[in-house]
Amino acid sequence: MSRSVRVGLFCGGALALATMLVLACVDLPGFGHYPGPYGDVIARTGVAARHATDLVTAVNFDYRAFDTLGEEFILFAAVLGVAIVLRDVRGESERARQEAAEEHAFGDASAALGAVGLCLVGPLVVLGIYIVTHGHLTPGGGFQGGLALAAAPLLAFLGGEYVAMKVVAPHALVEAGEAAGAAGFALIGLGGLVFAGVFFENFIGLGTPGKLLSAGTIPLSNVAVGIEVAGAFLLLWTEFSDQALLVRK
Amino acid sequence: MTLLPYLVAVWVLCWGLYGIVTSRHLVHLVVCLGVAQAATYLLLVGVGYRNGAAAPIFAGLAPGTPVVDPVVQALALVDIVVEATVSALLLALAVQAQKRFGTVDPDELHSLRG
């Protein structure tokens, strides 16, 4: 199919799609006039029922924890898929990759960039842990904090220290972290089944709202998911940077 | 104009799709898919918005204060995670396409090879 025919077909289809979507939008409640009821029910009862002050996290890790489990395994399966798609193909060997990694240093990475990158690793880890552990109090949680944690070794990479990145975050440890985080979240769900009779029931004492140790299983779930997300994204980045080094070679 | 945010979502979706259809590079195509998916964030967060309401974080907020819908915000978070995983998988496939066929132009990847 030639390019112009394809664009013509697309324009016709897109026009029809846009027309239907606009007609659908006309019947939506006007912007700024959210009608409820589900969000309102949670806003009214959430803090009293779950002792979590960040209701978005409460929805994610308690009310909709079962869906979040599915989401977590989507992430797990996708990382597995990337690892399989990027596995060694004919003519590539692990040794060539090792050599490329040892030679790697961004030639144009200045000493200042390297120093700043390495200096920021520690603060970023602290920030990531803070975001994960305070997810039930203030905006944040396992997914957001896990990403901040995963970005920390990337700073070492940015500073031209690919080998250092591998030392800070060895492959086996990252893989184990990802698997343990995914399993931990599933086990918290099973804990609800065992101790309270319902899968993902909040079975730990709820504590005082606003305190670090409150909201029952929600902070535990955040920690498990944070570890899993950090591991998953680190695995993704090592897979892709391994490829980049090979291609450059 | 209370419809405007929804119309922006439709607009963003259509431009993302246009980018996918006319793309000449697989990485560009993945970015266009991300643009198309950004429309869903706009729509989700837009549906739950309420004029003059606070964010659904009750740390330092009196109980009973009107807030925007926390459910759609949680859904937007799910959406973002799925978008990241889809992009990662597609980029991995783009890397393999470059290795196997020596091109990342979708127009040159049309024929099946055994």
Residues 5-44 of B with CB under 8 A from A: 5-7, 9-10, 13-14, 17-18, 21-22
pLDDT tens for the 249 residues of chain A, in order: 678 888 899 999 999 999 999 998 888 887 888 887 888 888 888 787 888 888 888 888 888 888 899 998 999 999 989 888 887 664 555 556 556 555 655 556 677 887 888 888 889 999 999 999 988 888 888 889 999 988 888 887 777 666 666 666 677 888 888 888 888 888 888 888 888 888 888 877 777 777 778 888 888 889 999 999 998 998 888 888 777 766 555
Buried b (16+ CB within 10 A) or exposed e, B13-38: bbebbbbbbebeebebbbbbbbbbbb
- The domains of chain B, with CATH numbers, are 4-50+67-109 (1.10.287.3510)
Residues contacting residue A218 through CB under 8 Å, at least 6 positions apart: A50, A52, A57, A58, A61, A62, A135, A136, A202
Q: Are B5 and B42 in contact (CB under 8 A)?
A: yes
The alpha carbon of A34 is separated from its chain's Cα centroid by a whole number of angstroms, namely: 28
Q: 3-state class of B51 per DSSP?
A: coil
The token pair at A179 is 């698997």
SS3 of residue A170 by DSSP:
coil
The predicted pLDDT at position A161 comes to: 64
Which of A29, A86, A209 is the closest to B92 by Cβ?
A86
Q: What are phi and psi of A170, to 5 degrees?
A: -65, 145
A29 reaches B (C-beta below 8 A) = yes
CA distances from A228 to A145, A146, A211, B109 (A): 11, 7, 24, 35
Token pair 């698997």: residue: A179
Task: Report the percent of chain B where pLDDT is more than 70.
Answer: 96
Contact A23, B6 (CB under 8 A): no
The answer to whether A39 contacts chain B (CB < 8 Å) is: yes
Residue among A237, A236, A240, A188 nearest A77 (CA): A236
Q: Quick one: DSSP state of residue A60? A: I
Distances (CA, A) of A219 to A59, A62, A214, A216: 13, 10, 8, 7
pLDDT in tens, A148-165: 988 888 887 777 666 666
B54 at A interface, C-beta within 8 A: no
Residue A124: per-residue pLDDT: 92
Residue of B nearest to A57 (CA): B74
Classify A114 as helix, strand or coil: helix
Instruction: Write phi, then psi, for A35 (nearest 5 degrees).
Output: -90, -10
The minimal CB distance from B5 to the residues A31, A34, A40 is found for A31
Considering CB atoms only, which of A25, A74, A143 is closest to B7?
A: A25
Task: In whole angstroms, give the CA distance from residue A188 to residue B106.
Answer: 44
Full DSSP string of A4-18? HHHHHHHHHHHHHHH
Could you report the per-residue pLDDT of A2-32, keeping only the tens digit for each?
788 888 999 999 999 999 999 988 888 878 8
Locate A155 and state its tokens.
């700073």
Please tell me the distance from the alpha carbon of residue B109 to that of residue A117, in angstroms, as a whole number: 39
Q: What is the Cβ-side half-sphere exposure of residue B52, based on CA atoms within 13 angstroms? A: 3
Q: What pLDDT, in 10s, does the model give residues B32-48?
A: 999 999 999 999 888 88
Neighbours of A211 (CB within 10 A): 12
Q: Please compute Rg for chain A using Cα positions.
A: 23
Q: What is the ipTM of this complex?
A: 0.83
- How far is residue A109's CA from residue A7's CA, in Å, rounded to a whole number? 43
Distance CA A125, CA A225 (A): 16
